[in-house]
Each structure stands twice: as C-alpha cells, then as structure tokens.
C-alpha cells in the first residue's frame, strides 16, 4: 500500500508593532524581567477592556494581500473561549467567521524526484507548486508558561509579558506533501514577512511558531483523474504531482504537532510522523486524532495531554470591539505600501542585471541586501562598473553591508580596477609566448578546436605574472592571436 | 430539551457535586424551555444584532507605549508566586 | 440643615456660601451610615479614613475659594462592581472578597476629578446577577422604606444608600434593569444611559453588549449633573460613541408642551399589580396636564424580550467570568455562588456547538426586531413612558428559589438594554397599604438623555415625590 502525506500548516507570526494588540503596553519584552510589560487589559484584570491597534490590523491585511488573499471588507473580532493558565481572560480575541484574508496562495519550488529515471535517484525536477492559503487572521498572543521545579515541587510559572502581542495566524490548505516542501514553503513565507517589515520573524525569539498537521492518504496506483489535472494545468496552477485533494478525499484523522520553532524541526517532525503513521496504517489501524509535541532531544513527536477534552470554543462576536470595515481606499493604500516581493525581485534581477539564478537568490534573500546591491549598481553606473561585477564582489567577498556603504564598495572596486593593466608590455608578451611554447600539448588541443583549454593557459600566464594584474580579456586576445 | 449538565459544567470549568448537578439540571432545563420561546418568532432574512452603537473601525494609532504596571502591582493580588512569576500546579505537557 | 433634604445642587451652593465645611458634611453622612447601615446593609466597604482625608483637602480648597468642580465635596457611593484603586472591590462575590484593584474605573476617576468624595463601596447582587440584591455573598440589602422588602437589584446598595440619605449619589450599572428597578423600588432617580455614552472601562463586566453605566440620585437635576461628569469617550472603551455628549442641564427646565409621549401598550396590557396600574394612570395624567400629547403605541416584540435577554446576557456572562480562575487574583471558581454558576452554564450551553444557531444567533436576530420596534415608534414620538416593574417590591426571600420567576421581574426593563436606548426611572408614588415606592421609566431615542431629563424634571416638579423620605429605624 502506498500513502501520500497530506500536510497543512498553521503559522503564528508575532508582529513588530510598538504596542500590544489591545493595549498600550510595549511589545519590547524580550530579555526583560517577567510580568513587567503588563496592564489591566493584557493581564485580564476585572473591568479592563481591549482597544485595537490599527497598525496591527493593517499589518495583518498586508500579509494577507502579499499572499494573494481576498480581503474580507467587513469583519469583526470574535472570542475564542477556552481555559488555560496562560490565557488570562479565559478567551482569546481572534477571528473566526471573517478572517481579514482568505483564499490566497504561495508558489514554492518543489523538487520532485524524477520518476522516469528511477536508476538515478539524484535526478530531480524542479517544479513550481502552488500552496493554497485558507485564511490569514488577527489574534493576540498568550502568556508564557515555564515548567520548573520549585522547592522540590513541579510547578508551572506564568509570565504575561507576551500576553496580547499581536499575532497573525496563517493557515494553509493541506496541499503540502513532504517535509521538504513544508520547509520550502516556510522559508519563502518568512522571506515575504521580512520583506513586508511587519515582523522580525526571528525563530529564536519565537516570532514565528509552526504547527504542521499531518495525515496519510492511501493512494491507488491509477493516475489521478485527468479532468482535474487538466483543469489546474489550464489555470497555470499545478504541475507535476502537485494536485489539491478535494475535501471528501481527506483522511479521517489529523495529527497536529504544536508550537515548533524551527523549519528543520518541522521537516523532521513531518518525516517522523510519516513513518509513525505508516506503521500504524500498515497494521490496519488508524492513527489517533491528537495533538503532539516535538521533542528535540528524542528527535520525535510525543503525545500531549489534550488541552480540553471537547474542543468547543464557543466563538461569538467580541462585544467590546466594533466591527472592522477595510475600505477599498485602505486596501489600495496597503497594496501600494507592499514592496517588491522576493519572486518579482528575483525575476527582475535576472532580467535587468543579467545575474545568474544562484547569485540572484543570494542577493534577494534579505531585502536589505537586495536594496544595497541596487544602490551600489546605481553608483557603479557612473563609473561604468558592471552590475555582475558588483554582485560578485558582494557575494564572493562577503561584504558586510552594515559596515561598507554602497559608495565605498564602488570606490573599492574602482581602486582594484585602476591597478589592472589594460595593455601588454613587451615583457608580458614574452611571458605569454613562453607559456604557449611550454604547453605545447594544450596549444595543439586548442588548434584542434578544444577551446576550453584557453582557461588553463590563462591560468598559467597569470601564475608567471606573479601577482601582476592584467585584464584577463587582453591576455585572452593575445593567446588567441598567437594560436591562430 | 434536556441539558447535559456534566458536559456543560466541564466546558464551563465548574465543579459540581451530585446534588448540584440534579438541582442545576432541573433549573437550567426550565429556563431553556422558556427561552426556547424565541422559536415562535419568524427571523427569516433578519440580520443579527451583536452591537447597538453602529460604530465601525474604532482603533488607535500604534504610538509609543505607555508605562506598564510594575511587577509588584501585576502580582499584587495573587496568592501564589515565585520570582516575579505567577505559580500554578504543574501543567502536564507530555504523557 | 436637614441631611435628607440635601441635594448636589443645594450642597454645592451651601459650600460656596460657607454654610458648612466639607468635613462636617462627610462626617454627618459617615455617622448616618454607621448608625443605620447595620440594618440596611447597603455598603460592603466604608472608606471612612480616606473620605475624611479627602474632606480635609477639600476644606483647604474651600478656604482658598477654589470650589470650581461640578461635584465639589459631594459624598457618593460606588457600586462594588466598579474597580477602585487601592480600595477593595468584590463584585459582591466571595471570588473577589480580598481583591484590591491597581487602577480606577473611568467613571470613578472622573467623579473623583470632579471633586466627589467616595464614602465606600456598595452592595449588589454578586456580579450584578439578580433583581433583588439577594444574590450578594455579603448578605441582602434591605429596602429603607420597609426592611422586610427588597430594594431591587442588582444595584441594591446604590439605591438603598441614596434613599437612606447615606450619600447624594451612587454609581450603578444596568444590564437588564439593574439601575431602574432598584431606583423604582426606593423612590430614587436612576439613569440607564444610551449604550455607548458612558465608558465601561473598569466596571466588572456582566454582559458587555448590554452593560450601561449609570447612577442613582435623589433628584432629576442631580442626576443630570452626574451625567455631565461621566459621559464621553475615554480612549479605553472602544464602544463609546464620540461626540454624543452634551450639556444635560441646559434644557432641563424647559416646559414639555407639545411633546409627543408614547405609552407602549404591551407594557401595561397585562400582569400589572393594581397599585402599579393606578400610579401609572395618575402619572400619564401629569404629562397630559403639562401639555404633552400622550398616545398608546406598540412594541410588538416585547413578549420575547426576556427570552432574548436570557440568551444573550448569560452567553456573554459565561465568557466574561472565564477570567476568574484564581491564578492572578481572587479565589478559584468553586467560590462562585449559585446564580453565577447558573448563568455561566446557561451561557456555555447557548453558545455551544450545535446550539449556537438555535439560541445565540436566533436571539441576536430577535434583538434586531426589538430594536426596530423602538426605532419605528421613535419616528413619531419623542419619548416613551412605562412602568419599571409590573409588581411592587417583593418580600425578601420570595423569589430566591425560583430563578425563572426572578428573571421575569425584568420584563419591562430588558428591552431598552437589548436595543441600547436610554431610560430613566423616576419616583411616581407609593402603594396604598404598605407605602412601597413605585417608579415609572422614561425611554428615549439613542442619545436623547437631555430630552429624558427634561420630561422627568417636569414630572418631578409637578409631583414632588422626591421630597418624601423613608423613616429609618
């Protein structure tokens, strides 16, 4: 029996607003003393009320827009009711019926093993795959629980500094089929969020918390229905194996792995679950629908005590906050504020600067690097320095962009260039001639059409020049002349 | 209509003794049978009212933060604390 | 000077004319509380020391001629549902019996800034759940007019303390009648403002979409003075509507000739006690005599109001009381009394999956219909006048074992909470045999408090019931 993993992701992103979601407490609590960034509202004191932060609402909508979501023009906050010690009000202000964004997508590169050449397992085909986004909604973070032993007694300690930090929840459809894909999705999502500047998206600080849900679908060996494939192909959405699974086909259970804080662990948790669930299914059993945790030391997922036996969150409209109307003018403003995102930037860099895909990937990984590169290119144009040269300089010399200003970089390049000889002296010509004589075989090979030996000969010339820098093109020309 | 009092109490995070269960079950059933009266009203195509002010978009700018409560005040009313943190019985995380 | 006859209006004048000192007045009221409240039980906490300290400060200001505050030196009480910085706040529940807040409710802050002096925290039904005051974990409050009877709830202490002249004003909250009913049962003036006029920040929430923050006073004029202080946005309660506040004293003494007054027939058709019926008929005559046009109107969905209210209110209660887990403050959930438990469970049920549409959503739709009933009537009428309670104050203990019966005593008050309309309860007379107070309510369009005050003032000046005082033992 073959099983196909059906994986969905829930991602919580802490926004980097100055103040919390529903109160004016500072969000800069990292590394501060516990319970020093709280007020009646985020501590859930009697009588306190929420007052929403407009920036957070706009940031959430911006994420939704960047993920191609439709925006819910008229929406409202709701209360999600459940009891847990880290939830001070006994409910979380969240969105249920009307998330700010819904029905979006994110295209990732999915490396599918090339099944036609089974013999060569390393052969992969890189495909674009669309992961659908179900919803993007706004909510508030909870306090933090620290498990500790105090005076020989196991206790849990609560710090509410984090309580009320604006949190955006992104939920995908179960379109992901491997740990690798999940990682690719998350990496790209993180880049987009950083580009938007709405969150530091720092995994170590817990700015992004990940919850994959994983189940396995039994697949028959027959090809998937043609109509579906054709339909999605035609829409330019899907290629290769990437096909959304209709809801009626989804497995009857779902295993959620909670609060993972690294992409690598998500990948591993998925791989672990895949193995674990396969074993259960092969025994003819069905895995238990449950929430599991990721144990870093054991490198496996472990069953967690279920939060509340019956998950009945009793959502109802938050009476303390009037509805939110995201008017078209606001949406337009937000769209305008969204910077060029990694995908578009990559395409443009390849086209505009003629850079390699590889170099482009490196330059666009962080928006600051990409911006640095483009500033340098502009500066370089004044001195006719090629953008490729600048890209190489940034990447190969690992320029610290926080230390060297783009203009400084350009003058460095110019300095190097001015030391390069553009003309050959007689002595140089002699050296080149010598090299040809000394490497007779290579010279013959060249004459026989094996032009790639030119590189070898240039190398030999450079060695003989002993540090003297001559424009490679000139050496190349001279060699070609002599070998005619 | 009958109320599953055990289930509701659990969901509401309340502990009831068996005597209370009997009492509340009867009282709640009476009340629910009364409020069920609303089913007489035709509400087809009637929009629900959650709030009566008609307000929308009440929010504040993300200006600089105000000073929070100090730790002492935050913990002022708790019966159980440790090193600036609220202390509760261990919450079992893993089986 | 007769302490019972003091009003905010007369006291302010008295201070200005140097007839008495603030300390003198505060002491008088504190002594009265000490002497009579053992029996009435209207206070949970009396803040004697703080009040006297404040009085000394105020006297200093007085000697400097600095009395320019609207509530300068006015002794008030605060319902124990309002959080007060450094003063114990219990919500009349054992859950919070040792709870001392770290901040002041907006209204408390505003009243203090206006010069008022808080004499203490007032008894009420625990969490404001109740119509008689008997759900208090600190014992029931008694009606100053007849101590075997309820003063009405949930703002039982607020009403009883003003009726007994312990203070000149008290704060209250009205979720389904909790200000109007006790005001009516004690011959005091109680306002439930428009939802969205007064900030709810710092008032322990009962049902957030219904809670209106108001107050009880001896006279209509005094009531308007307080609203001038408490109304308006505060940047803390997002449901307060901006730019709705006005000067509530400006037109209060205008005559009401030509004013169109509606009498909702569903409120008087059936179930009224004979005494209430008589008093209400007399009241209507007063308005006619003053030149108002009085006509019967219809609010057809009235009979569904209590059912609608007892879905929406407990649903919100169940969520609002979820924070009381005993971790950050207060005692754990075993300390809740029966009524709180009932409402928490009822609301948990009506919101739970499978029942939400049949109950909660249905109630929100019926709420729309109830609101529309009012809006339609207000197209042609300036205000509505109706009884507050279909019955006289009942004997303490009469309804405690029958929650549904207790709930039905809110039958004439809950509609205004569901629709958000303002309503004021004003004394309208007394029952014949027992001399128990009976009030009427004046209901107006959203943010029409200035009109309501005008109508109520006209009625009060014609009837002068506020001049009658209970005999305290």
Secondary structure (DSSP) of B24-73: HHHHHHHHHHHHGGGGGS--TTPPP-S-SS------B---PPPP-B-HHH
pLDDT of residue C327: 97
pLDDT of residue A305: 62
How many angstroms away from the CA of C426 is the closest CA of chain A? 29
Q: Which of B20, B39, B41 to mutate to test the interface with C (most CBs of C within 10 A)?
A: B41
Task: Say which of C154, C155, C315, C415 is annotated catalytic.
Answer: C154
Whether chain A has a CB inside 8 Å of the CB on B69: the answer is yes
Q: What is the mean pLDDT of residues A152-177?
A: 97
Q: Which residue has the higher pLDDT, A126 or A190?
A: A190
H/E stretch holding A252 reads: none
In sequence order, what are the residues at sequence separation of 6 or more whose Cβ sits closer than 8 angstroms to the Cβ of residue C443?
Answer: C374, C383, C384, C385, C386, C416, C421, C422, C423, C452
- Contact between C253 and C457 under an 8 Å Cβ cutoff? The reply is yes
CA angle C351, C344, C369 (to 5 degrees): 50
pLDDT of residue B92: 66
CB contact under 8 A, C196 and B55: yes
Whole-angstrom distance, CA of residue A283 vs CA of residue A276: 11
- Contact between A325 and B56 under an 8 Å Cβ cutoff? The reply is yes
Q: Which residue has the higher pLDDT, A81 or A304?
A: A81
Q: What is the mean pLDDT of residues A266-289?
A: 94
Percent of chain C's residues with pLDDT above 70: 100
How many angstroms away from the CA of A88 is the closest CA of chain C? 6
Given a contact as 3+ CB pairs under 8 Å, which chains touch C? A, B
- Of C382, C388, C369, nearest to C437 by C-alpha is C388
Q: What is the mean pLDDT of residues A80-89?
A: 97
Q: Which residue has the higher pLDDT, A393 or C215?
A: C215
Find the range with the poorest average confidence among A110-119, A148-157, B83-92, C364-373. A110-119
Tens-place pLDDT, residues A365-413: 999 999 999 999 998 888 888 888 899 888 887 788 888 889 888 888 8
Specify whether C319 is catalytic: no
Average pLDDT, chain A: 88
Give the count of beta carbons closer than 10 Å to the beta carbon of residue C69: 17
Given a contact as 3+ CB pairs under 8 Å, which chains touch A? B, C
Whether chain B has a CB inside 8 Å of the CB on C423: the answer is no
Whether chain A has a CB inside 8 Å of the CB on B88: the answer is yes
Specify whether C79 is catalytic: yes
Q: What is the mean pLDDT of residues A331-351?
A: 94
pLDDT of residue A114: 47
pLDDT of residue A389: 86
pLDDT of residue A242: 43
CA angle C341, C342, C348 (to 5 degrees): 85
| C325 interaction partners in chain B (CB closer than 8 Å) | 13
pLDDT of residue A250: 81
pLDDT of residue C195: 98
Touching B: C residues 75-104, CB under 8 Å: 98-100, 102
Q: Which of A19, A46, A52 to mutate to test the interface with C (most CBs of C within 10 A)?
A: A46
Tens-place pLDDT, residues C269-298: 888 999 999 999 999 999 999 999 999 999
How many angstroms away from the CA of C461 is the closest CA of chain B? 33
Whether chain B has a CB inside 8 Å of the CB on C133: the answer is no
Whether chain B has a CB inside 8 Å of the CB on C301: the answer is yes
pLDDT of residue C312: 98
Three-state SS string over chain C comes to CCHHHCCHHHHHHHHHCCCCCHHHHHHHHHHHHHHHHHHHCCEEEECHHHHHHHHHHHHHHHHCCCCCCCCCCCEEEEECCECECCECCCCCCHHHCCCCCCCCCHHHHHHHHCCCEEEEEECCCHHHCCCCCCCCCCCCCCECCECCECCCCCCHHHHHHHHCCCCCEEEEEECCCCCHHHHHHHCCEEEECCCCCECCCCECCCCCCCCEEEEEECCHHHHHHHHHHHEECCCCCCCCCCCCCCCCCCCCCCCCCCCEEEEEHHHHCCCCCHHHHHHHHHHHHHHHHCCCEEEEECCHHHHHHHHHHHHHHHHHHHHHHHHCCCCCCCCCHHHCCHHHHHHHHHHHHHHCCCCCHHHHHHHHHHHHHHHHHHHHHCCCCCEEEEECCCCCCCECCCCCCCHHHHHHCCCCCHHHHHHCCCEEEEEEEECCCCCCEEEEEEECCCCCHHHHHHHHHHHHHHHCHHHCCCCCC
DSSP conformation class of A38: B
Whether chain A has a CB inside 8 Å of the CB on C313: the answer is no
| C325 interaction partners in chain A (CB closer than 8 Å) | 83, 85, 90
Q: What is the mean pLDDT of residues A404-425?
A: 82
How many angstroms away from the CA of A141 is the closest CA of chain C? 16
CB contact under 8 A, B59 and A54: yes
CB contact under 8 A, A156 and B87: yes
Tens-place pLDDT, residues A428-455: 888 998 999 999 898 899 888 888 888 8
Closest residue in A to B82 (Cα) is A157
Task: Say which of C165, C178, C187, C315 is annotated catalytic.
Answer: C178
Whether chain C has a CB inside 8 Å of the CB on A395: the answer is no
Buried b (16+ CB within 10 A) or exposed e, C356-365: beebbbbbbb
| B20 interaction partners in chain C (CB closer than 8 Å) | 341
Does residue A337 have a pLDDT over 50?
Answer: yes
Touching C: A residues 76-95, CB under 8 Å: 79, 81, 83, 85, 88-91
Local confidence band at A224 (pLDDT 50, 70, 90 cut-offs):
very low
Q: Which of C79, C206, C311, C328 to mutate to test the interface with A (most CBs of A within 10 A)?
A: C328
Closest residue in C to A89 (Cα) is C323
Whole-angstrom distance, CA of residue B75 vs CA of residue A342: 46
Does residue A154 have a pLDDT over 80?
Answer: yes
- Of C407, C403, C314, nearest to C355 by C-alpha is C314
Of C307, C348, C368, the CB nearest to B8: C348
CB contact under 8 A, A323 and B56: yes
Task: Say which of C58, C79, C112, C245 is annotated catalytic.
Answer: C79
Whole-angstrom distance, CA of residue C276 vs CA of residue C279: 5
Tens-place pLDDT, residues C298-353: 999 999 999 999 999 999 999 999 999 999 999 999 999 999 999 999 999 999 99
Does residue A308 have a pLDDT over 60?
Answer: no
Tens-place pLDDT, residues B39-94: 999 999 999 999 999 999 999 999 988 989 999 999 999 999 999 999 999 986 54
CB contact under 8 A, B59 and C361: no
Backbone angles phi, psi at A384, to 5 degrees: 55, 40
Whether chain A has a CB inside 8 Å of the CB on B52: the answer is no
Of A24, A52, A302, the CB nearest to B65: A24
Give the count of beta carbons closer than 10 Å to the beta carbon of residue A359: 19
pLDDT of residue C171: 98
| A-to-C residue pairs, Cβ atoms closer than 8 angstroms | 96
Average pLDDT, chain C: 97
Specify whether C208 is catalytic: no
Helix (H, G, I), strand (E, B) or coil at B95: coil
Whole-angstrom distance, CA of residue C217 vs CA of residue C199: 19
CB contact under 8 A, C327 and A158: yes
How many angstroms away from the CA of B94 is the closest CA of chain C? 22
Sign of CA dihedral C58, C62, C65, C67: positive
ipTM above 0.95, yes or no: yes
Q: What is the mean pLDDT of residues A459-467?
A: 84
Helix (H, G, I), strand (E, B) or coil at A478: helix
Does residue C422 have a pLDDT over 50?
Answer: yes
Tens-place pLDDT, residues A27-73: 999 999 999 999 999 999 999 999 999 999 999 999 999 999 999 99
CB contact under 8 A, C102 and A316: no
Local confidence band at A236 (pLDDT 50, 70, 90 cut-offs):
very low
Does residue C37 have a pLDDT over 50?
Answer: yes
Does residue A97 have a pLDDT over 70?
Answer: yes
pLDDT of residue A237: 36
CB contact under 8 A, B68 and A36: yes
pLDDT of residue A464: 85
Whether chain A has a CB inside 8 Å of the CB on B7: the answer is yes
pLDDT of residue A111: 64
In sequence order, what are the residues at sequence separation of 6 or more whose Cβ sits closer than 8 angstroms to the Cβ of residue C337?
Answer: C93, C94, C126, C135, C137
Q: What is the mean pLDDT of residues A144-150?
A: 93
Backbone angles phi, psi at A59, to 5 degrees: -60, -40
pLDDT of residue A246: 61
How many angstroms away from the CA of B26 is the closest CA of chain A? 23
Local confidence band at A483 (pLDDT 50, 70, 90 cut-offs):
confident
| A-to-B residue pairs, Cβ atoms closer than 8 angstroms | 146
| A50 interaction partners in chain C (CB closer than 8 Å) | 238
Does residue C1 have a pLDDT over 90?
Answer: no
Q: Which of C85, C200, C236 to mutate to test the interface with A (most CBs of A within 10 A)?
A: C236
| A52 interaction partners in chain C (CB closer than 8 Å) | 238
Q: Which of B5, B8, B49 to mutate to test the interface with C (most CBs of C within 10 A)?
A: B49
Whether chain B has a CB inside 8 Å of the CB on C354: the answer is no
> Is-cis flag, bond preceding B37, omega within 30?
no
Whole-angstrom distance, CA of residue A136 vs CA of residue A58: 12
Given a contact as 3+ CB pairs under 8 Å, which chains touch B? A, C
pLDDT of residue A228: 38
Q: What is the mean pLDDT of residues A473-479?
A: 87
Whether chain C has a CB inside 8 Å of the CB on B42: the answer is no
DSSP conformation class of A224: P
């Amino acid at each position: 029996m073959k099983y196909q993993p059906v994986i969905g992701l829930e991602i919580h992103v802490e926004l980097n607003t100055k103040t919390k979601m529903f109160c004016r407490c500072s969000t800069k609590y990292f590394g501060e003393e516990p319970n020093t960034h709280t007020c009646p509202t985020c501590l859930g004191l009697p009588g306190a009320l929420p007052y929403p932060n407009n920036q957070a609402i706009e940031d959430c909508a911006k994420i939704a827009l960047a993920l191609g979501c439709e925006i819910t023009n008229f929406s409202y906050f709701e209360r999600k009711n459940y009891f847990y010690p880290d939830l001070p009000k006994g409910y979380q202000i969240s969105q249920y019926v009307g998330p700010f964004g819904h029905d979006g997508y994110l295209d990732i590169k999915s490396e599918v093993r090339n099944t036609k050449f089974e013999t060569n397992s390393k052969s992969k085909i890189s495909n674009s795959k669309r992961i659908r986004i179900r919803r993007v909604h706004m909510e508030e973070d909870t306090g933090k629980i620290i498990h500790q032993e105090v005076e020989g007694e196991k206790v849990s300690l609560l710090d509410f500094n984090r309580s009320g930090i604006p949190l955006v929840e992104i939920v995908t459809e179960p379109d992901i089929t491997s740990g690798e894909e999940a990682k690719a999705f998350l990496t790209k999502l993180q880049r987009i969020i950083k580009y938007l500047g709405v969150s530091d998206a720092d995994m170590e600080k817990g700015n992004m918390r990940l919850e994959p849900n994983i189940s396995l679908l039994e697949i028959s060996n027959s090809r998937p229905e043609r109509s579906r494939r054709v339909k999605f192909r035609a829409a330019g959405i899907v290629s290769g194996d990437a096909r959304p699974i209709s809801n009626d086909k989804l497995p009857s259970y779902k295993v959620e792995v909670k609060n993972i804080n690294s992409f690598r662990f998500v990948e591993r948790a998925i791989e672990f679950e895949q193995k674990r669930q396969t074993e259960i299914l092969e025994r003819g059993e069905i895995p238990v629908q449950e929430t599991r945790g990721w144990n870093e030391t054991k490198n496996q997922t472990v069953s967690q005590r279920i939060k509340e036996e019956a998950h009945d969150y009793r959502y109802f409209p938050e009476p303390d906050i009037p509805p939110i109307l995201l008017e078209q003018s606001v949406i337009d403003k937000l769209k305008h504020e969204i910077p060029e995102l990694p995908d578009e930037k990559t395409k443009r860099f390849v086209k505009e600067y003629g850079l390699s895909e590889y170099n482009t990937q490196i330059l666009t990984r962080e928006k600051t690097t990409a911006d640095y590169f483009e500033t340098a290119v502009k500066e370089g144009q004044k001195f006719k320095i090629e953008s490729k040269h600048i890209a190489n300089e940034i990447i190969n010399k690992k320029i610290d962009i926080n230390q060297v200003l783009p203009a400084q970089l350009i003058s460095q390049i110019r300095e190097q260039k001015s030391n390069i000889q553009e003309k050959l002296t007689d002595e140089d010509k002699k050296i080149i001639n010598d090299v040809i004589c000394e490497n007779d075989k290579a010279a013959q090979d060249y004459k026989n059409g094996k032009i790639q030996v030119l590189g070898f000969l240039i190398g030999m010339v450079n060695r003989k020049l002993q540090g003297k820098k001559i424009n490679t093109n000139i050496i190349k020309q001279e060699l070609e002349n002599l070998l005619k | 209509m009958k109320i599953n009092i055990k289930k509701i109490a659990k969901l509401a995070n309340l502990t009831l003794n068996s005597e209370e269960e009997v009492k509340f079950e009867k009282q709640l059933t009476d009340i629910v049978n009364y409020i069920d009266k609303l089913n007489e009203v035709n509400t087809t195509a009637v929009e629900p009212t959650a709030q009566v002010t008609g307000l929308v978009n009440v929010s504040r700018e993300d200006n600089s933060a105000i000073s929070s409560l100090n730790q002492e005040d935050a913990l002022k009313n708790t019966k159980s604390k440790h090193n600036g943190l609220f202390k509760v019985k261990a919450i079992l995380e893993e089986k | 000077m007769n302490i019972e006859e003091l009003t905010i209006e007369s006291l302010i004048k008295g201070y200005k004319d140097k007839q008495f000192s603030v300390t003198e007045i505060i002491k008088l009221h504190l002594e009265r509380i000490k002497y009579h409240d053992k029996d009435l039980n209207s206070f949970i906490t009396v803040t004697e020391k703080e009040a006297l300290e404040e009085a000394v400060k105020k006297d200093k200001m007085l000697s400097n001629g600095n009395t320019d505050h609207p509530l300068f030196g006015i002794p008030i009480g605060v319902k124990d549902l309002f959080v007060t910085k450094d003063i114990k706040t219990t919500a009349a529940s054992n859950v919070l019996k040792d709870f001392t807040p770290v901040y002041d409710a907006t209204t408390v802050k505003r009243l203090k800034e206006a010069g008022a002096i808080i004499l203490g925290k007032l008894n009420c039904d625990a969490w404001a759940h109740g119509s008689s005051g008997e759900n208090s974990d600190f014992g029931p409050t008694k009606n100053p007019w007849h101590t075997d009877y309820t003063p009405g709830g949930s703002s039982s202490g607020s009403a009883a303390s003003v009726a007994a002249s312990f203070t000149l004003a008290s704060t209250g909250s009205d979720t389904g009648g909790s200000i109007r009913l006790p005001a009516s049962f004690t011959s005091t003036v109680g306002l439930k403002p428009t939802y969205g006029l007064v900030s709810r920040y710092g008032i322990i929430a009962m049902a957030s979409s219904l809670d209106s923050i108001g107050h009880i006073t001896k006279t209509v004029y005094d009531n308007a003075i307080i609203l001038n202080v408490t109304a308006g946005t505060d940047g803390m309660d997002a449901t307060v509507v901006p730019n709705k506040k006005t000067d509530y004293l400006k037109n209060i003494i205008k005559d009401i000739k030509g004013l169109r007054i509606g009498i909702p027939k569903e409120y008087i058709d059936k179930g009224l006690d004979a005494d209430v019926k008589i008093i209400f008929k007399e009241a209507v005559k007063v308005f006619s005599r003053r030149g108002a046009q009085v006509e019967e109107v219809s609010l057809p969905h009235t009979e569904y109001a209590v059912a609608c209210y007892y879905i929406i209110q407990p649903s919100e209660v169940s969520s609002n009381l979820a924070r009381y887990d005993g971790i950050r403050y207060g005692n754990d959930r075993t300390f809740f009394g029966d009524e709180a438990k009932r409402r928490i469970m009822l609301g948990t049920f009506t919101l739970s999956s499978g029942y939400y549409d049949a109950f909660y959503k249905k109630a929100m739709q019926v709420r729309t219909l109830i609101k529309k009933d009012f809006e339609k009537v207000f197209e042609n009428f300036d205000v509505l006048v109706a009884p507050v309670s279909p019955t006289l104050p009942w004997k303490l203990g009469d309804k405690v074992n029958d929650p549904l019966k207790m709930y039905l005593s809110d039958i004439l008050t809950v509609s205004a909470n569901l629709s958000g309309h303002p309503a004021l309860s004003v004394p309208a007379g007394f029952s014949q045999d027992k001399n128990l107070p009976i009030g009427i309510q004046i209901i107006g369009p959203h943010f029409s408090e200035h009109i309501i005050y005008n109508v109520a003032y006209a009625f009060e000046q014609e009837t002068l019931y506020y001049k009658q005082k209970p005999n305290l033992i």
